[in-house]
């Protein structure tokens, strides 16, 4: 306030006093009390313009601003009251909430009184409003620190609740996902169970069918003893069905070894084109019987020898050609070999002119126990293991087996294996004895045959003696110990592993403890890798798996006999 304004206000007050007038007196004692019995002036008389009259511009600016603040406080008060009173929300901050809306009410009253003072000088009434406002303002302020802690706790609770809700959502999604996975796994398990049930049924059929032929034609052999031609036909039928049974058993054993990761490969120099030719020759008669031709296209670029497991490669190609002939009614089956030197990739393709396959059938072609459909089994037979085993064997050798086909356009199976060229191996093995050499292949060889089964003992004795060997039989491992002596009377012990009284492993161990210098060949129906390792560990020199062919028996006995005689001569 400048000096001129001060003089003006004092002059105005003096003027009112001089006239004896009380500017705000109403004659009502209560109201006059708040205005100092008329001595106080409204605020508009404190704000004058240059002419000495009220400065209405700034007066109304202040009035409007106060009204805006009042409206804001009323809005906040209304919200607060509705939220915390009408909804009856009560928590650990209930006291603060009550203080807050009382504070807001007092503030509104104070601002209303402030606006009123522009036109009515009830300053003492303003003091009345300011007392509760000051009281509740400080009371509210003093409760803010606990409120801050409470807010932190509530924020933490909210964050925990949100985290819990989010985690619940994640868990629900995870449960849904796992439920779907479990449902899919159960579906696959049901499909696998169904496939295995069908496999068992097919297996029963595949075993009983050749067994029926074997048993039946064995009976016929007893009846047709005077007819050599029929005799030979019956034997051929028995041999063919026996080979089928042996193939079936080998497939099942191969599958179990592959799944257990215990199938061992024997890599050596392999003549791929020769194997392809052998397979063609093997199936030529079967194919011509169906009116089919087998075409062999060996690539000139294929090296003479590649590093592979020849037995397993032959098994793969044989299975593919057998399937091609089985499912082709007219046309041809083509075997093609090729080799890419840059990538060292061998390719063997077997293509047929059969009915082909749909994409759906190809999708499940390499699954265990699976064939195209039930009609395939009824029409062509089989267990559904061949292609699965063939692909697994190809992958074990570092390659793969794939198929391409379309309905009505035939099928092509492709074996691709990365391998390198090698030189022919020089081995000390002699070739297998031909039919005319069987009588001299084991001439002078002395064999101790340890076998508890009379039929197997009679069969082995027949093969060995016909090849020129001298055979002494022991019915179990204990008898073998009494007959072996120091071992000098025998070259080879053909030891069955599973026998009563004393098994082959224990008998072999005791022979080695005695210092017996003789070749011991384990002959067992247990064909697992661990069985072979166990036999060699107990002291056996070699291993022969039942059922064995005559040539296999003669070759392994002859080889070990020559080795022992060479050691003794040295």
CA dist 463 → 440, 459, 565 (Å): 12, 6, 21
pLDDT at 2: 45
Count Cβ atoms below 10 Å from residue 1 Cβ, excluding itself.
8
The bridge status of strand 399-405 relative to strand 411-418 is: antiparallel
Is residue 414 domain-shared with residue 442, that is, in the same domain?
no
> What phi and psi values does residue 471 have, to the nearest 5 degrees?
-120, 130
Last residue of a domain, one of 110, 142, 174: 142
Domain presence at residue 506: yes
pLDDT at 143 over 50: yes
Check residue 446 and give its pLDDT.
Answer: 95
Is 287 found in the same domain as 408? yes
Q: What mean pLDDT comes out for the span 124-138?
A: 77
Give me the CATH number covering residue 471: 3.40.50.2300
My answer on whether 391 and 482 are in the same domain is: no
Let me know whether 24 and 79 are in one domain.
yes
Which pLDDT tens digit goes with each residue over 421-446? Answer: 998 764 444 444 444 455 568 999 99
Report d(CA 87, CA 81) in Å as an integer: 9
User: Whats the size of the chain, residue-wise?
Assistant: 570
| pLDDT attached to residue 504 | 92
Does residue 412 share a domain with residue 442?
Answer: no
pLDDT over 70 at 349, yes or no: yes
413 CB burial (10 A radius; 0-12, 13-18, 19+): buried
CATH number of the domain that residue 371 is part of:
3.30.565.10
Buried/exposed code over 313-347 (b: 16+ C-beta within 10 A; e: otherwise): bbbbbbbbbbbbbbbbeeeebbbbbbbeeeeeebb
Task: Give me the mean pLDDT over the 324-345 stretch.
Answer: 93
CB distance 297 to 335 below 8 Å = yes
Confidence at residue 434, expressed as pLDDT on a 0 to 100 scale? 47
Contacts of 424 (CB under 8 A, 6+ apart): 269, 304, 305
291 domain-assigned: yes
Residue-wise pLDDT for 443-463, tens only, equals 999 999 999 988 888 889 998
Mean pLDDT of 390-405: 92
Q: What is the pLDDT of residue 196?
A: 65
Contact yes or no for 448/483 (Cβ under 8 A): yes
Range name among 92-106, 383-397, 533-547 with the lowest pLDDT average: 92-106
Backbone φ, ψ for residue 259 (5° rounding): -65, -30
What average pLDDT does range 459-474 have in this prediction? Answer: 93
- Split at pLDDT 50, 70, 90, the class of 69 is confident
Same domain, 491 and 406: no
* Mean pLDDT, residues 29-44: 71
Query: What pLDDT score was predicted for residue 146?
Result: 66
Q: What percent of the chain has pLDDT over 70?
A: 75
Q: Look at residue 391 in the predicted model and tell me its pLDDT.
A: 92
Same domain, 402 and 272: yes
Residue 161 included in any domain: no
- Given 142, 175, 205, the domain boundary residue is 142
pLDDT exceeds cutoff 80 at 32: no
Query: Token pair of 4, please?
Result: 């001129």
Asked if residue 399 is part of any domain, the answer here is yes
Domain-located, residue 395:
yes
| CA neighbor of 414 nearest in space, from 344, 356, 363, 348 | 348
On whether both 410 and 540 belong to a single domain, the answer is: no
Q: Are residues 442 and 564 in the same domain?
A: yes
CA distance readout (Å), 56 to 47, 63, 112, 115, 502: 8, 10, 19, 14, 128
pLDDT at 60 over 90: no
pLDDT tens readout for residues 495-553:
999 898 999 999 999 999 999 989 999 998 776 667 788 888 999 999 888 878 888 89
251 belongs to a structural domain: no
Q: What would the pLDDT profile of 272-303 be if each residue is shown by its tens digit? A: 999 999 999 988 988 998 999 999 999 989 99
Choose between 519 and 72: higher pLDDT: 519
314 neighbors 295 (Cβ within 8 angstroms): no
> Does a structural domain hold residue 36?
yes
What is the predicted pLDDT for the residue at 157? Answer: 76
Q: Tell me, yes or no, whether 503 and 404 share the same domain.
A: no
Predicted pLDDT of residue 374: 44
- Give the domain extent around 515: 438-569
Q: What is the pLDDT of residue 379?
A: 44
Q: What is the pLDDT of residue 362?
A: 84
Residue, of 182 and 137, whose pLDDT is higher:
182
Residue 42 has what pLDDT? 79
135 in the same domain as 67: yes
Calculate the dihedral angle through the C-alpha atoms of 216, 219, 224, 228, rounding to the nearest 10 degrees. Answer: 70
pLDDT of the residue at 200: 60
Q: Which residue, of 142, 163, 178, is where some domain finishes?
A: 142
Asked if residue 266 has pLDDT above 60, the reply is yes
259-266 CB contacts, 8 Å cutoff, 24+ apart: 262/528, 262/529, 262/530, 263/396, 263/529, 264/529, 265/309, 265/312, 265/396, 265/397, 266/309, 266/311
- Pair 324, 455 in one domain: no
Q: What is the largest CA-CA distance in the chain?
A: 169
Averaged over 72-89, what is the pLDDT?
A: 66
Per the domain annotation, does 173 fall within a domain? no
> What is the tally of structural domains in the chain?
3
Could you give phi then psi for residue 215, rounded to 5 degrees? -65, -45
* Beta bridge pairs of residue 351: 334, 412
| Per-residue pLDDT, 371 | 52
> With bands split at pLDDT 50, 70 and 90, how would you rate the model's confidence at 201?
low
């Amino acid at each position: 306030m400048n000096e001129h304004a001060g003089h003006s206000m004092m002059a105005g007050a003096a003027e009112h006093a001089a006239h004896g007038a009380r500017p705000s007196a109403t004659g009502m004692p209560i109201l006059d009390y708040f205005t100092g019995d008329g001595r106080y002036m409204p605020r508009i008389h404190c704000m004058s313009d240059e002419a000495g009259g009220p400065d209405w511009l700034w007066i109304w600016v202040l009035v409007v601003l106060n009204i805006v603040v009042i409206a804001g406080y009323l809005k906040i008060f209304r919200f607060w009251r509705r939220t915390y009173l009408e909804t009856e929300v009560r928590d650990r901050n209930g006291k603060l909430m009550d203080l807050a809306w009382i504070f807001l009410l007092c503030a509104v009253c104070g601002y209303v009184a402030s606006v009123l003072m522009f036109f009515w000088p009830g300053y003492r009434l303003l003091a009345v409003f300011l007392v509760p406002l000051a009281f509740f303002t400080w009371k509210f302020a003093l409760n803010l620190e606990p409120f801050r802690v409470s807010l932190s706790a509530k924020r933490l609770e909210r964050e925990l609740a949100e985290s819990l809700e989010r985690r619940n959502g994640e868990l629900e999604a995870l449960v849904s996902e796992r439920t779907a996975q479990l449902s899919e796994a159960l579906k696959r398990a049901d499909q696998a169970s169904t496939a295995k049930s069908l496999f068992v049924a097919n297996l029963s059929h595949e075993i009983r069918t050749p067994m029926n032929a074997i048993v039946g034609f064995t009976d016929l052999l007893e009846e047709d003893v005077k007819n050599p031609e029929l005799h030979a036909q019956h034997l051929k039928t028995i041999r063919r069905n026996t080979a089928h049974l042996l193939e079936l058993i080998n497939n099942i054993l191969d599958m179990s070894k592959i799944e257990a990761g215990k199938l061992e490969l024997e890599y050596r120099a392999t003549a791929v084109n020769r194997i392809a030719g052998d397979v063609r020759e093997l199936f030529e008669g079967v194919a011509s019987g169906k009116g089919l031709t087998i075409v062999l296209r060996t690539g000139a670029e294929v090296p003479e020898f590649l590093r592979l497991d020849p037995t397993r490669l032959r098994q793969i190609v044989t299975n593919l050609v057998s399937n091609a002939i089985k499912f082709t009614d007219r046309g041809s089956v083509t075997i093609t070999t090729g080799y890419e030197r840059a990538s060292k990739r061998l390719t063997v393709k077997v293509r047929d002119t059969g009915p082909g396959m749909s994409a759906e059938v190809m999708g499940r072609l390499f699954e265990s126990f699976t064939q195209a459909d039930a009609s395939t089994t009824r029409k062509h037979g089989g267990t559904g293991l061949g292609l699965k085993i063939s692909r697994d064997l190809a992958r074990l050798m570092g390659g793969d087996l794939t198929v391409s086909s379309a309905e009505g356009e035939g099928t092509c199976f492709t074996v691709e294996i990365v391998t390198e060229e090698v030189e022919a191996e020089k081995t000390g093995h002699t070739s297998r004895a031909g039919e005319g050499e069987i009588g001299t292949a084991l001439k002078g060889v002395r064999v101790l045959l340890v076998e508890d089964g009379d039929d197997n003992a009679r069969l082995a004795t027949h093969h060995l003696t016909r090849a020129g060997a001298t055979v002494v039989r022991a019915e179990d491992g204990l008898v073998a110990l009494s007959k072996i002596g120091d071992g000098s009377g025998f070259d080879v012990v053909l030891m069955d592993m599973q026998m009563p009284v004393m098994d082959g492993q224990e008998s072999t161990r005791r022979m080695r403890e005695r210092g017996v210098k003789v070749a011991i060949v384990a002959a067992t129906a247990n064909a697992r890798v661990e069985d072979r390792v166990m036999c060699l560990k107990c002291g056996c020199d070699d291993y022969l798996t039942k059922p064995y062919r005559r040539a296999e028996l003669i070759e392994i006995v002859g080889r070990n006999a020559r080795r022992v005689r060479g050691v003794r001569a040295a």
